[in-house]
Amino acid sequence: MSVRDRWILGSIIAALVMVFVLAFVILPKAYPAYGEGFGPHPWGIGLPTAEDLLVQSQRAQVLSTFGGENDPNTKVKVTYLDTPEPLKGIYITSWIAGTKTLRDKVLDLIDATGVNAVVIDIKDATGHIAFPVNDPELKKAGSDSARITDINQFIHELHERDVYVIGRIAVFQDPLLAERYPAISVKRADKLSAWKDHKGIGWVDAGSKKAWDYTIAIAKESYAHGFDELNFDYVRFPSDGDMNDIYFPYSEGKVKADVLEAFFEYLHRRLSGTGIVTSADLFGMTTTNKGDLNIGQVLNRALPYFDYIMPMVYPSHYPAGFLNLKSPAAEPYQVVKYSMEMAREKVVAAQTLASTTPMAQLRPWLQDFDLGAMYTAELVQAQMKAVYDAGLTSWILWDPKVQYTKGALLADKLAVDKKRAGH
């Protein structure tokens, strides 16, 4: 070998050594979060952006503050998944999530079908948080429980299956918070006694900043446990009760839609930059109505503040005569397709008016429970088809009993598999 050849060979070896050191020593130390939801490996698509690094920093701060991977009592490392596209999910209660034998049945269903996401109750209509908390203010409220003692482990099991985990937080329907802090509770017209809905459930005033901060504390604490997305439900004023005998200590005399948009903006601002993906549940008829349904919900006024809007387009919740249908529950395809087409039009119009502000994507809740009609596999599938025909790809099934129609999920999976195979 000539001197020149030896010099070339030596240069090549030196370059390879430098590449090795950069790839496996320097970059892993500089960007330890690769593979945990912060973007691609540096030898994939590219190096992280400044925004990626900011999110990484703020996410680490949340984890450090509220426990998670920095909690010495936590044996399971906290990781995060990117939002799947399309997303096909099911809802499960905290009681089932906290009972191993029952949640194993859910895992069996997931393994057998195309489900790639679950929604788990963090705080349901009782006001109780489903797992022990670290935040002192949440502890002071006494709202935490032991329904799910191993929440980190369960999320880990789901992540191992590439299942995206969404945590549901019921916001203003909260009898426990209303009882703990009566000053922020919705009152009867006498301004003294607590107002309750037809189910006997108390509410807090949607205009209470204390309730806003309480919700944000729950969101950050939950995110530290590994929830990939936080879903905010009951983001509205109450409606099912004596509305002639009601008083709002913080919102009285204000426009309800203004109050809710102020909350949406506050929530967005406080959670922005943390990496938390957010979604909000709205009444199904917000997709077709121009007004606020007397609960403050207007689709257009929520779009700028969340990553996803999830209209609850349950056909059973539409009145007789909607689309000239005698029984909307028995005609789910028409109800869902029309509702989501109208929702898409509203998103396009909103995006046109605010071209520099990204609008939320649509992901509807679908019905898988018997109300107004017996929901067979055919009726559940009809809703899925309606979503696809409306130009959307994602949905989540709701059944409070967590008894999902396996036949519908399997049929959808089969259709997807055939499409991928080119049949």
Residue pLDDT, tens place only, 172-225: 999 999 999 999 999 999 999 999 999 999 999 999 999 999 999 999 999 999
Residue type, 341: E
Alpha helical stretches, state H, 272-405: 299-302, 332-353, 377-389
CATH number corresponding to 67-421:
3.20.20.80
| 12 confidence band (pLDDT: 50, 70, 90) | low
Contact (CB, 8 A) for 119 and 363: no
Q: Per-domain residue ranges for the chain?
A: 67-421
Smallest CA-to-CA distance from 289 within 361, 235, 338 is with 338
Residue type, 274: T
DSSP per-residue letters across 251-311: TTTS-HHHHHHHHHHHHHHHHTTTT-EEEEEEEGGGGT-SS-TTTT--HHHHGGG-SEEEE
pLDDT value at position 286? Answer: 98
Residue carrying the six token digits 């010495």: 72
Between CA 284 and CA 339 the distance in angstroms is: 7
pLDDT value at position 421? Answer: 80
Between CA 322 and CA 130 the distance in angstroms is: 38
pLDDT value at position 79? Answer: 94
Contact (CB, 8 A) for 271 and 315: no
Query: What are residue 168's DSSP bridge partners?
Result: 121, 231
Of the chain, the percentage scoring pLDDT greater than 90 comes to 77
- Antiparallel, parallel or unpaired: β 117-123 and 361-362: unpaired
Dig out the tokens for 206 from the structure: 């949607």
pTM score: 0.83
pLDDT value at position 417? Answer: 82
Between CA 297 and CA 291 the distance in angstroms is: 8
